[in-house]
Structure formats: C-alpha cells, structure tokens
Chains A and B, each alone.
Chain A
Amino acid sequence: MADSKLDLLQGTLDLMVLQTLAAMGTQHGYGIARRIEQVSGDQVLLNQGTIYASLVRLQQRGWIEAEWGSSENNRKAKFYSITKRGRKQLAEDAAHWQRLAAVMGRVLGMAPEGSER
C-alpha cells in the first residue's frame, strides 16, 4: 500500500502548508498534517514529523507566524497562521504550480505520432 503513495517533490510540502493555513486560518502542526492527509485522500506519503521542518522554514521566511495557545481540548499547542507576505507568496507559487501542471499535462498527453499538432 505504501508503495502506491506519492513521494513529495521538494518544495511541494511548503506550498501545501501555506494553502492549508490560507484555507483553514490558524492551525497547529497536527491539524495541518491531518488536513493535508485528509485532503489528499491519503494519497501522499507524509511522515507527520516532516511538517515541522517545513513550518520552521516558512516561519524564517516570514510567510507564516506562530504563537502558543490552547487547543479545543484545552491542550497547549503552537498555532500557525499565514501572513500577508505568505498569501502573496502562495498566490505566486500556486499560479506557477498550476502553469507547470498544465504544461506537464499537455506534454504527457502527446499522442505517439504527434498527430495532434
């Protein structure tokens, strides 16, 4: 089963985290990891621990910020939220990603004899 999961490309996790925070608002690390797993339909091979390298990287770039707070169960946790610069970056990266995905789709969709063109 594990073999069929997708390996994450370098940088994709950062984009996913940004998008998750943009969509869900403030969230702790566990919540982000769970959310990504759910949305991907458990298609992504993700060690949840990996998320913390991504979070600190985004934080150092100033795209997200963090604050300690209490969870719904009154548990102490660190909550992350996206910043204004983070949203700008997300927009750029998402556009770039979509363009790349579209191009890849087209390239991979080429017919063997090149008849489409």
Chain B
Amino acid sequence: MNGWWHRTWKRMLAFLHRDALDRELDAEMAAHLEMAVEENVRSGMSPEDARRRALVRFGGTQRAREEQRAARGLPFLDVLLQDMRFTLRTLRRDAGFTTVAVAILALGIGANVAVFSVVNTILLRPLPFPESRQLVWIAPPPRSCGLSCATYSIDAYDEFKAQSRSYQDVTGYDAFTSPDNFRLTGRGEPQPATGMRVMGNFFQVLGVHPMLGRLFVPADTLKSTHPVVLLEYAYWKRQFAADPGIVGKEIDLSGQPTTVVGVLPESFDFGAVFSPGSRVDLLVPLIPEYERDDGNVVTLIGKLKPGVTVGQAQADAEMVVPNLCWNVKYPRSCGSYVLKHGPSIQVRTLKNYVSGRLRRSLIVLWSAVGMILLIACVNLSNLLLARAAARSRELAMRSALGASRVRMVRQLLTESLILSTGGAVAGLGLAWALVLWLAHQGALALPLLSTLHIDGAALGWTVMTAVAAALLFGLMPGLKMASGNLQEALKDSGHGTSAGRKHESVRAALVITEVALACVLLVGAGLLLRSFLKVLDIDLGFQPDHAASIRVEYDDSAPTDQASAEKRAAIFQQMIARVSALPGVEAAGIVDFLPLGPNRAWGTPMPQGKTYPEGALPSPLVYVCTPGYVRAMGMHVRGRDFTWNDGPNSQQVVMINEAAARTYWPGEDAVGKVLMSGKTELHVIGVVEDVHASSVEAEKGWQIYYSAMQQGPDDSQLVIRSQVAPASLAGSVLRTLREMNPNQPAAEFKPLRMIVDRADSPRRFFMLLVGAFAGLGLLLASLGIYGVIAYSVTRQTQEIGIRMALGASRGHVQTWVLRKTLLLALVGIGAGTAVSFLAARGIASLLYGTEPSDPLTYAGMIALLLAVALLAGYLPARRASRIDPMIALRTN
C-alpha cells in the first residue's frame, strides 16, 4: 500500500514536470541514436544505412516517448489535456455554435441552480435554529374563525406548559401584531416600527444567541419592570447605523423610554420564518399579566425532549387539552379548547408549519425547471448531431488513422463536458443574480426568502447538473458518431445519402421530444395562469383599487372606559372630518384590522329568541370601525352605516355580513333584528357584503362590525378612498394627522391593492416562474424545429431544385416544407398533450377555479405552440421557395 502511494506520488510529480522530463528523454534518445549510428558505422555501414538501421532498431521516438509518459505519469490526464486542447481549438473555430450552446446551457443550468437554491432554502434545509428538528408548532386544527381559533390564552399556555410531559420548554408569541405597531421618537421625525411580543423564553427555546448584549430574562416579563427591547440585526443597521454601543441605551418607543438590552444576530429574521412577506424590526417581551384577560393571544412553539417523536407529543398534547382553561377566573371556560370533531390540538414540526404548504408548489417548480434542462439538453443533442453530420468525414478519417472508438467517444464527451462547464459557469452567474434579486423581494410572502443565497449545496448541484447534462446531450451524438460506418462516412458526401437520412430521423425524434416537453410546460403554465386570473377576478367584498391605508396614532387615555370612549369618538370624528375635507378624498374611515391582516373572533352572538346547539354556528371575525369605513373600503351596505350618534351612550349597534345574516334569519331581512352576545343586545343596523377577510382564496366566512365608539379598537388603520394616486395624498394626509397629533409617525401610506398583492404573491411568484420556464421551453423548442427544418432544406436543395425545374411553384415548395414542420409539431403536441393530462392531475391542488383538463387552456396552448412551430418552419420554407433551380442543380 505504501509502495502504491509512493508510486502515485511519483507519477503525479512526473505529470507536473512532464515538459522537463520530455526534454530529458529527448536528449537521452538523441544520445542513444548517436551511439547506435556510431556503432553501425564502425561495423562498416554507410552513414545513411547506419542511421536508418539505428532508427529501425529503436522503433520510433514518438512511440517511445508516449510509452514512457504512460509508464511514468498519469496517462488518463494526459489524454484529457490533449482532448481539451483539441476541443478548445475546434470550439474556438466554431464560435457561433459555441456561443449558442453555452447560452442554452447557461439558461438551463442557471434556472436549475436558482430554483434549487429556493427549494433548498425553503424545503430541504433545516430551519436556521440549532436542533431545529425538535421544534414543533402547537395549534388548534384550522377552523374558519381566524387567528382567535389558532391561538391560546395566557392561562391555557401556563397550564399547557405545566402539564405536558414531552417538551423541554414551550414558548410563544403574540399573533395579533399589526405592521408599524410601534413608534420610535426622539430621533427626528417619529418613525414607525414593527415589534413582536414574544414570551420571555422565546429565544432560549429557539436557541438563538444575541450578537450584542443579552436576551430577555424572566424579570423582563413582570408588570413592574422597566420596558426592554431587542433589535433585529437589519433594523439595528438601518435605524441605528449599526451603533456598537447601543446596548444599555434608552430609546423612546411609543412614548415609553425603553432600554435596548441586545441586538439579535444577522441569521435571525423573525419575519422570514414566522410572518413571510412582512418585516419585523424589534422584539419586546410579552408581559403575561397584561394579556391574561385578553383571551386567545399566543401561538405556541415547543421544543421536544430528546427522543420524543411528534406523534408522542401529539398524544401528550391531546391529554392536556381538556384541562386547559380559557380563563381560570371563569371555571366554565375550562375545557373549552376541546373540539367536538377530530383532534382538538395539532402538533407538527415547525418546519412543516413554515414551509409545508409550499411543498407541492416547489416540487412543481422544480419539475418545471428540470424539464427546461431536459429541453436544453435535447436541443444541444440536436445541435451536436448537426455538427456531427458536418464532421462525420473528419471523424471517419481519424478512425481510419487508428483512433479507437472508445477514444473518440471520450473525446466527444470531453467536448460536451467543456460546453456544459462553460454553461455552468455562465449559469451560476445567472443564478447568482436571480437569487440576489429574489432575496430582496421583501413583499414576496415566501418564508426564509431573505436567507436565500448560493451556498455549497447549490455549487454541488451546479456541478451535478452540468455533468448530468453533458452526459445527456453528449453521449447520444457521441455514440452515434463513433458507431458510424467508416467506409460510408468517407464516401458520403453528406447530401442525400442514407447516413444523412438516418441522422435526420434521430433529429426529428429529438425535436418531437422537445415539442412534447414544451407542450407539458405550456399547459402547466397555462393552467396556473388561468388560476391566477381567476384569483385576481375574485370579488373580495371590498374595492382594493383607489384606496389606501395608514396606521394612525391617537391618545384616548382616560380614567374610565366610558370617558375614554367619548374622548376617542371626538378624536375620530375630527380626524375623519378633516381628512375627508382634503381635496381628492372621497371617503375616509378607521378600522382596527384590515382584511387579509390579523383578525380575531369574540365568540358567537345568537339571534334573539333562537337557540342553536353550542358549536353549530361559526364565530364571526370582529372588526371595530368608525362611520365611513365601509364606504372607504367600497363595501356595499344594506340598511345603514354607523353614524357619530352610535356613541357610548346609545344602544349597541352592529353590522353583520350577508353570510351570517342568511344563517341567522333565513329568508328574512336581518336589518332591525337583535343579536344577543351574552346579556348584551346588539341591534343589527346594516348588512354588509361578504369580505375575503382571512385569505383571498379561502371561504369568505362570517364577519361582524362594531362601532369604534362603543367597543375599544385594538389598533387603528385610517382608510381613504380617492381617485387621486395615494402617493400624492400621503403628504397632505400625514400633515393633517401631525397637526392633530405631533407624535403621529411617518407611517407608510399603503394602497389596499398592495395588501391584496402581497396575499397573492406566492401564487403570482410560482405562476410567473413556471410561465417564464414555459416561454423558455417554447423558445428552445422553436429553435430545435428551425434547426431541423433548415438543415433538411439545405440537404435537399437539389431535390427542391428538381421539383421546381419540373414545375413546382414557390407556393408548392413552401407548403411542402411547412407540412413537414406541421407533422413534427403535431406528433410532439399529441404526445405532449397526453403527458399534460397526467401532469395536470398532479398540480390539481395548486389550481383555483380551473379544472386540470380545462379545454380552453389546452386549446390556447396548443394553438400557441402550433403558431410558433409554423413560424419556426416558415423561415426555412421561405428560403426553400427562393431556391433557383438552375443554381441548385449545377452545384453539388
């Protein structure tokens, strides 16, 4: 073994110093021959004879040189270098071919690497926490009552943590956070910031260590404590210019002096993991005693004990649920987390929660991009075959001169590898740019996107795809070329002989494959596009265009709830009156939560005089709003909107949506009826359109609207409807708000369309990507068709010439060529459509309002493919029809 290493080492040295060794050998051989000549002369030969005899006895210096190289060095590498030099030379000579081939490969490989990076980041790689496999998401099963049914109360959290046995620790965060819920003052203009309330042990459970300072400690979560805050890395850099001395400093958050206790590491991005598409700037401790009576507020995250499976944790959680109380002050609320049907609690890995629902989309994306690579490879195979036809004589000559078949295949594979390496390098550049761009798409609601980068795995994937591609597109033409009949190839002039025809049939088969693949991609993209259009067409229940929202701040602090409500009513009335008076403003109103944002439910009010079994009716999502809100949103109301008279002292009024009204009072008008919430009478004054409140694509659910003067809003978003562009209004609106409250932060003026777009963004993202890949596939397939038809026209110039000489018109010739194109395209489309039917079933769950066999999509995409194919065939057809028969017949 030692000897083997020693020899390998020597061989490597010899390989590295081969030029010096070659020179030495040349000198040695020269001396050898001189001595031989001398001896021969001495034995009486003539000098010429002596030299000739010496050379014969020696047996060829080149051969000796090669024998020694093989004996001393790494013959494999020698051959490779030789092949590479040769390949680079031929490729440089054929720059047009090289450029096209590398460009096609760069697109195919680049797209693959970029998509692999996305898939790897979102789906394959574990979450960016230590032992992240032990992290689980604990929540009730999904129901249609919004976040209130997806969270737990503080009492329930405490109880769950105390009674469950499977967890090292359980933590959580406040799920009801609106963007820009904090205001940073004392540093120029008041600035909005988004802060998350997290349990004191949040970072300890996730295993995140601070970059500067410390994490939260139990003392930070007491009512009496001085407020503290942790900054996210990006916010620290942006807002505090990466001040290294920030820890320990006081900042002014929403009017409260707050101590910065630490800065989180760059690798931690709360928004990227838990609320994709929105950014989180800072984290504050959730103080349980403030929120104990607020009902369901926290989502639970647990860290399993080592060796505990998710299944065991699930069983454990189900045992605990019956003992949880919504609020221990009300013993009747104990056990209220138990559901009548199915399991009352769901434990799944945090990874599954974060990226599980994207799984299918990502796999579809991955398959689409794989198909692109396949099409690119087929295209290259085709290009190489065309080249092979031109090079068949060169190869036959080399074969005749003694090159072995293996050696020739190897040389051709080297060529493929060099091409695909070029493609991989260019593709990596492309992927890098794409990934960089994607990582900065903050509005794209995909988890972990900001952590996207080209990493080692992506590089490995690049190498793998490049090698696989090289084998895929190089092997077939290589084998085909090397297996050609020597004599025929040498005799074959390349025009109109049988070998040429055989080449052509293989190329036709390749083009058909390409067309079929492109067809599958197009149909898939078409179905996704149609779904996306259907989603855009959804009647949201409000009009997102020509409306925008801004988060407003006000101070309604007062000794009693009653006084506070009166103060708030006055502020709101004045605010809305002043904003409405601004030129261009059509309507304005305030709500605490916008649709598609956070939401909550307050149990199920019952129609007066009717009883339903418990749990038979859904809990409507609650919105607290001012007069004018529904008009600003562009929602239709039957009955009346709130007025400023629906204040704290008048009777409690509500508006409900159509769906709730239909169920509460079937066949009757709900306006004027009374709902009972416990002992409180709620007078229904209006019935509002159904709104897609929790998600664009899900069921609309139930909604109930309370007057902001009668119920305390949890937040406040001012919605303004105007035909003027929101940006041009922002200045005057903000000035008005500042005049009323100098502390109003320079919050973002968000068009409602933007909020809807954000909700649609994953679908848009996948649709655009698959669409782009389908477009690329179409382009490559049309290139393939063009190549094959153009080649066959060139090859059959003579035949066409004869036809025309015998009276065929230009039109005839064109039709003849186009018919050929059509045949290729139709066979490809036939096969592609059949495969599409199967593939479409696989993406059925990604479609919205579109059948996997949607005839319109199939017809449209087939028509598109045919049109492009005919265009690709038309160019050579036109050339064919312009052939001058005399010239064609005279030239060979």
Contact = CB atoms under 8 A, between A and B. Distances in A.
Interface of A: 28-31, 33-34, 47-50, 52-54, 56-57, 60-62, 71, 73, 75-78
B31 A53 contact: no
A73 B38 contact: yes
A71 B38 CA distance: 13
Contact of A52 (B6, B38, B68): B68
Interface string B234-246: 0000000000000
B57 to A, nearest CB: 5
Contacts, number: 78
Given A60-B10, A78-B28, A48 B68 contact: no
Given A54-B71, A73-B38, A60 B11 contact: yes
A30 B34 CA distance: 10
Nearest to A78: B28
Given A50-B67, A52-B28, A76-B31, A60 B72 contact: yes
A105 B34 CA distance: 41
Given A30-B32, A60-B7, A77-B35, A47 B63 contact: yes
A75 B67 contact: no
B59 A30 contact: no
B35 A52 contact: no
Contacts of A33: 32
Contacts of B31: 28, 30, 71, 75-78
B10 to A, nearest CB: 4
B284 to A, nearest CB: 72
Q: Which of A33, A34, A48 has the most CB of B within 10 A?
A: A48
A49 B61 contact: yes
Nearest to A57: B71
21 contacts: A29-B32, A30-B35, A34-B39, A47-B64, A49-B60, A50-B64, A52-B67, A52-B68, A53-B64, A53-B70, A53-B71, A53-B72, A56-B71, A57-B72, A60-B14, A73-B35, A75-B34, A77-B28, A77-B32, A77-B35, A78-B28
Contacts of A57: 71-72
A76 B34 CA distance: 11
Interface in B652-674: none
Nearest to B10: A60
A47 B60 contact: yes
- 3 nearest interchain CB pairs? A47-B59, A49-B64, A53-B71
Interface of B: 3, 6-7, 10-11, 14, 24-25, 27-29, 31-32, 34-36, 38-39, 57-61, 63-64, 67-68, 70-72
A28 B7 CA distance: 23
A50 B25 CA distance: 12
Contacts of B35: 28, 30-31, 71, 73, 75, 77
Contacts of B3: 61
A28 to B, nearest CB: 7
A31 B7 CA distance: 26
The DSSP consensus for interface residues of chain A is helix
Contacts of B14: 56, 60
Contacts of A53: 64, 67-68, 70-72
B32 A48 contact: yes
A77 B32 CA distance: 8
Contact of A48 (B6, B24, B57, B71): B57
A65 to B, nearest CB: 13
A49 B71 contact: no
A79 B43 CA distance: 24
Given A29-B28, A56-B71, A60-B11, A49 B59 contact: yes
A78 B26 CA distance: 11
A52 B29 contact: yes
B59 A48 contact: yes
Contacts of B70: 53
A76 B27 CA distance: 9
Given A30-B31, A75-B35, A49 B63 contact: yes
Contacts of A50: 59, 64, 67
A17 B31 CA distance: 19
Contacts of A49: 29, 58-61, 63-64, 67
Nearest to A60: B10
A78 B59 CA distance: 20
A67 to B, nearest CB: 12
Contacts of A54: 71
